[in-house]
Amino acid sequence: MNSIIFHIDVNSAFLSFEAARRLKNDPDALDLRTVPAVIGGDKNSRHGIVLAKSIPTKPYKITTGEPIVAALKKCPSLLLIKPDYHLYVEYSHNLMEYLKTYAPVVEQFSIDEAFLDMSGTTTLYGDPVQFAHRLKDEIREKFGFTVNIGVSENHLLAKMASDFEKPDRVHTLFKDEIKTKMWPLPIEDLFFVGKSQAQAFRSLGINTIGDLANADPALITAHFKKNGMSAYRHANGEDINLDFDHNAENKSYSNSTTLSHDITSPDIAKQVLLSLTETVAARLRRDNMKISVVSVTIRDTDFNDRSKQTSLYSATCVTDEIYETVCLLFDSLWDHSPIRLLGIAGSKAIETDNYQMNLFNDGRHEKLSRLDSALDKVREKYGDDSVKRAVFLKPDSSKKR
């Protein structure tokens, strides 16, 4: 087989990262993965949503994305742990760097997922499936958390395979296994098929991935047009386009500005970054694109450039979600030298309506998305300056409002 792709997926990533840290600091500490526990809220405020859950929560039917209040009603003894973004970024970075010691190409897909192109490595590591088991065990021993690894000849099938039985498993899904392993799965399990699209498929009697794979393409096109045919091809094992282009730069969106005077105030710098973020996010929405990597560049008065990037938990075009990451990058990058230029960029841009729950939005994604859409329409009709954020208003202007 010429092409071998691994998909690495950390099991209950945020909860596992927290558990690994606690056990590293205290080997006798409670392993959060062995009790009903979730990441995503505060028991006193009873605020937030479930972002990650342990396997022992399964009997209580606690689901990712549900309000903490609802989860506590199902399991009053549920252990709640507040999210720690910096911890997740640190563990994600360490894992990706480790994977790069083995794989010729590592394509980070989210904060807790990556594709590894292992093509041509059999002379180094032997049988790919046996090596996947070895890599899985090494990750567990080195980092203290477990992963699932999907093995196939393309990204889609590797991703589907890693979602089979969890945790700490290796699964294959080669093309000759599609009929037995993938087609019996419910239509919702097909990658990039959202809840509303799955309901639409079911209304036509398409209940499994196999039903879709064997449906009349003309029927699918008539009802779902381009998106339906993409799902049809995926159901038949054709690869997904994730814009992992190794011969050219990934499509990116960026904006930068040389400042009229040197900046030494972080608050002013972040106002500039917000303005840059708004323009980049607006362009993304105009093109119906979302980015999964954000970077920030700072140039000081000595013309030294410093840049840093990170992967988003989910691809997005929402201004506030991108800006939160931009500010985190700025805080970790700036050395307090006077700033001459600021720039931001978003890369790994993809055209998709798929959204994986963002870590810190507490369910705000849809609300923020609708707000951005409304602002875009106003600005398109009345001009860019027709609506401004309060932070951009001059002091005397804000007093009049």
As a whole-number percent, the residues of the chain with pLDDT over 70 amount to 82
More confident residue, 207 or 399: 207
Q: Which residue has the higher pLDDT, 364 or 275?
A: 275
Least trusted range by pLDDT, from 17-21, 128-132, 136-140, 315-319: 315-319
pTM, 2 dp: 0.64
Q: DSSP alpha helices (H): ranges in 144-250?
A: 155-162, 195-203, 209-213, 217-235
- Name the strand (E) or helix (H) holding 9: strand 5-10
Give yes or no for residue 358 having a pLDDT over 80. no
Name the range with the highest mean pLDDT among 42-46, 128-132, 288-292, 341-345: 128-132
Does residue 82 or residue 384 have the better pLDDT? 82
- Looking at per-residue pLDDT, the higher value among 180 and 366 belongs to 180
The chain-wide mean pLDDT, for the chain, equals 84
Query: Which pLDDT score, from 0 to 100, does residue 395 have?
Result: 47
**Per-residue pLDDT averaged across 294-321, rounded?**
85
Q: pLDDT of 164-205, one tens digit each?
A: 999 999 999 999 999 999 999 999 999 878 778 899 999 999
Asked if the model's pLDDT at residue 375 lies above 80, the reply is no
Q: pLDDT digits over 211-249, tens only?
A: 999 999 999 999 888 888 989 999 999 987 665 544 434
Compare 255 and 232 and report the one with higher pLDDT. Answer: 232
* Cβ count within 10 A of residue 278: 22
The Cα 199–Cα 187 span in angstroms is: 9
Q: Catalytic amino acids?
A: 113
133-137, 175-179, 354-358: which range is least confident on average? 354-358
Cis before 167 (ω within 30): yes
**Bridge-partner residues for 186, per DSSP?**
208
The upper half-sphere exposure of residue 196, i.e. CA atoms within 13 Å in the direction of its Cβ, equals 5
Q: Which CATH class is domain 183-235?
A: mainly alpha
Structure tokens at 257: 């500005």
pLDDT for the residue 41? 67
Task: Note whether 311 and 349 are within 8 A (CB).
Answer: no
Q: Is the pLDDT of residue 397 over 70?
A: no
Strand spans (E) along 264-381: 291-300, 305-316, 339-347
Comparing 340 with 304, which gets the higher pLDDT? 340
Structural domain spans, the chain: 1-172, 183-235, 253-400
Per-residue pLDDT, averaged over 368-388, amounts to 57
Give the pLDDT band of residue 139 (cuts 50, 70, 90): very high
| pLDDT tens digits along 111-125 | 889 999 999 888 889
* Better pLDDT: 46 or 158: 158
Whether the CB-CB separation of 232 and 202 falls below 8 Å is answered with: no
At residue 153, does pLDDT exceed 90? yes
Mean pLDDT confidence for 318-338: 91
> Rounded distance, CA 71 to CA 50, Å?
8
User: Residue 314: pLDDT above 90?
Assistant: no
Per the CATH hierarchy, to which homologous superfamily does domain 253-400 belong?
DNA polymerase, Y-family, little finger domain (3.30.1490.100)
Question: Quick one: average pLDDT of 138-162?
Answer: 96
Give the per-residue pLDDT at 278.
85
State residue 52's pLDDT score.
86
Q: Which of 163-177, 191-205, 328-342, 349-363 has the lowest mean pLDDT?
A: 349-363
Tens of pLDDT, residues 35-69: 999 988 666 666 678 888 999 999 999 987 788 88
CATH of domain 1-172: 3.30.70.270
